[in-house]
Amino acid sequence: MIDTGLKDQVVIVTGAAAGIGLATARRFAQEGCRVASWDVKEGEAQPGGIFQKVDVTSPASVAAAVDAVAARWGRLRVLVNNAGILRDGMLIKYKEGVLAGMMSDEQFDAVISVNLKGVFTCTRAVVPHMIQGGGGAILNASSVVGLYGNFGQTNYVAAKAGVIGMTKVWARELGKHQIRVNAVAPGFIATEMIRQMPEKAQQAMVGHTPLGRVGEPEDIANAYVFLASNQASFITGAVLSVDGGAVTGT
């Protein structure tokens, strides 16, 4: 059995009420971690862990939650910046030569606020505690669309590409403090959102994935655990695509 070095370590997972975040919180709990699960929605605490209602767009909410985790357990070892939302829409939509719609400021700002600035806000609050504790691992949720773009997702792609940029900056800045910073870029993952899509759309996703299936939330959770573990001790500033080959299959 591989020793991940994660037993009894303190882990914060944002967006942990459902989907990839919930699977990630459960996976770290299986490693014996003390998991603080964060979400704006109600959620579950993992065995030996806690659930905190936290708004990642609010610096005050994030700071209070970080301080509470540190006061309860001490050293913070891992932060998984998973929280994210979708507000899809075309930049400009024309129908029969007439402007029929456009992405609104609200659509753009909401996604940037959660998916990009939320990552910044949470990391900024956690890093001083990691430095005091001698290091740690920050894991950021990007997406394959952040690498290659996607139709109808100007806001989401901008945020996920920005996350990759911040990951690389922080890997440079924080390495001297023994803090590793990496990103995971999921492909098509069988979250509740995808399961609610029409069967035809789901099959199209499978058709674009060389491995012949969509991923499971646990596939992403396993990647996070690996990147947080001792097995990845010399990996920082990386973007790990977990997509079943979807990029090469499109």
Q: Do residues 42 and 17 lie in contact, with contact meaning Cβ atoms separated by under 8 Å? A: yes
Q: Is 156 an annotated catalytic residue?
A: yes
Measured from the Cβ of residue 209, the count of other Cβ atoms closer than 10 Å reads 21
CB < 8 Å & 24+ apart, contacts of 26-30: 26/221, 27/218, 27/221, 27/222, 27/224, 27/225, 28/78, 28/80, 28/221, 28/224, 28/225, 28/228
What's the rounded Cα separation, in Å, for the pair 74 and 10?
A: 8
Q: Which residues contact 3 (CB under 8 A, 6 or more apart)?
A: 230
Strand partners, 12: 36, 79
Q: Which of 94, 148, 156, 224 is catalytic?
A: 156
Place of tokens 């080959």: 245
The structure tokens listed for 175 are 């390495």
Cα separation, 211 vs 11, whole angstroms: 31
3-state secondary structure of 89: strand
Residues 113, 55: Cα–Cα separation, whole Å: 11
Residue tagged 């995971």 (tokens): 184
Euclidean distance between CA atoms 244 and 240, whole angstroms: 12
- Judge contact between 234 and 200, C-beta under 8 A: no
Residues labelled as active-site residues: 156
